[in-house]
Amino acid sequence: MRKNVPFCDRRRPALSGRLRQLPVLGWGALGVAIFALLCCGCVQRRLIVRSQPEGAFVKIDGQQIGHTPVSVPFTYYGTRDIQLEKDGFKTVKVQQRVRAPWYAKFPISFFSENFSPREIRDERLLEFQMEPKTEVQENLLLDRANGLRGDVQRGTVTAPLQ
């Protein structure tokens, strides 16, 4: 006949084999490890900027990035101010929209960011064709300067050169 024993004094049923050797805290650690493996997914976002010709200096949102070809990680989607500069070529200034893919839109983004079984890579390639600067002939430049000087002396305002 069984005595009335408080619940906390009752013994656990015996486990067989290796499971018996696993301490109680081990089960918690095993659960945390399994949960961490299931939640290992994340999204890696990267902007890749290329130019023709290569070697243009790149600024994204006012931050200096480097010379093309260059890649930089990013966190948020949206519109980026991109500027490319190279000696002998016209400066390229563009507002480039980087749209979020379907898996990065709410509420799906919560699951793709936290519970994806593998890493998701989102690489965006931005390519730019740079145009050479036009050479201004010296005599045309001097004629324009003399015309501006004459306009200033007369007090008239001229439109900027396009």
Domain count of the fold of the chain: 1
Q: What is the pLDDT of residue 9?
A: 46
Q: Is the residue at 76 inside a domain? A: yes
Of the candidates 90, 99, 86, the one whose C-alpha atom is nearest the C-alpha of residue 126 is 99
Q: What is the pLDDT of residue 7?
A: 46
Q: What is the pLDDT of residue 156?
A: 76
Neighbours of 77 (CB within 10 A): 16
The CATH number given to whatever domain includes residue 104 is 2.60.40
Q: What is the pLDDT of residue 143?
A: 87
Q: How far is CA 129 from CA 1, 96, 123, 126, in A?
A: 91, 15, 20, 10
Query: Domain containing 74: what range?
Result: 43-129
- Mean pLDDT for each consecutive 10-residue tract of the chain (162 residues)? 50 52 57 58 86 94 93 91 94 92 80 76 92 83 86 75 60
Could you give phi then psi for residue 102, rounded to 5 degrees?
-60, -35
Q: What is the pLDDT of residue 114?
A: 74
Half-sphere exposure of 37 (CA within 13 A, CB side): 5
Q: Is the residue at 90 inside a domain? A: yes
